[in-house]
Amino acid sequence: MKLYGIANCSTVKKARDWLAQHDIPVEFHDFKKHGLDAETAQTWLHQADWAKLVNRSGLTWRGLPDAQKQLVCDQASALAVMLEKTSVIKRPLLEQNGKLLHIGFDAAAYSAIFNL
């Protein structure tokens, strides 16, 4: 099981704390340290709508030029911005064996995923 995100993100910290409190082992993949490969991002885009994966309310998105924001309108353009600016990806992403289990963090959803 892998958790993707950025170490200093408050939502990622909540997810990591929740997983630790429930003794659920997870490998943490920090976008800032390890980046993101196109294959992984494409796998996510096949499982979830690009609009759910791109965090359009975050600081990174708001910092993009308006012209670049307007170009993000489909999977291909979302992939490009996700690879260029990994901070634009909604965090955290919980994945197991290539299957995207959850986007973001919600304690109730995590409880349901892990049958707790």
Catalytic residue among 3, 4, 5, 9: 9
Cα(32)–Cα(10) distance, rounded to whole angstroms?
A: 15
Q: How far is CA 21 from CA 6, 94, 100, in A?
A: 19, 16, 22
* Annotated catalytic residue 9: yes
Closest listed residue to residue 110, CA positions, set 18, 33, 3: 18
Active site residues: 9
